[in-house]
Amino acid sequence: MVKGPRIYDRDITSKNYSRFKMVKINKKKREVTFILAGGAKYTATVPRIMSWFEAPHYLQRQGRLQDWAGPYRKPGSLSVKRSRRVMGGSVVRLYMNDRTAYDVCWDTVLMACEPKYEWYGGFPDYIKALLRKKQP
């Protein structure tokens, strides 16, 4: 049982959960700590973060990011080279050692790491079905 008040989307603001204050990458570059504006901290390993996504969002080529296109097989020894807050701090972009990059949104972190969040564990099947119907 989760103790404390539940976290609902309607109560989330840029002063508590919807903005990243900071991101820390551990010395071995295999773990990331996301620190949100209200001070909440969530640490996840690189393999766990990769499980949140089917494929990278970008490929780094000649210092520029290109949208990802095509299949992807995750390498076994992935690590984070650096990170950057983008989109006003609501997203953290993680640059990986295989020249890929991932955008991690605040709600993705809450879904995966905060048991008090109303969508912890991901969306229920009925919402996933609705989202699939809206896809072109």
The answer to whether 56 and 67 have CB atoms below 8 angstroms apart is no
Q: For residue 49, give the amino acid letter.
A: I
β partners of residue 65: 60
Res. 135: pLDDT tops 60: no
Q: What is the pLDDT of residues 27-82, one digit of tens each?
A: 889 999 999 999 999 999 999 999 898 888 888 887 788 888 777 766 678 899 99
pLDDT at 64: 84
Q: What is the pLDDT of residues 119-133, one digit of tens each?
A: 888 777 777 677 677
The answer to whether 12 and 18 have CB atoms below 8 angstroms apart is yes
Write down the domain spans for the chain: 9-134
Rounded average pLDDT over 86-109? 94
pTM greater than the 0.95 cutoff: no
Res. 17: pLDDT tops 90: yes
pLDDT at 26: 93
Tell me the DSSP string of 44-106: EEHHHHHTT-SS-SEEEETTEEEE--S-----TT--EEEEEEEGGGTEEEEEETTSEEEEEEH
Average pLDDT, the chain: 87
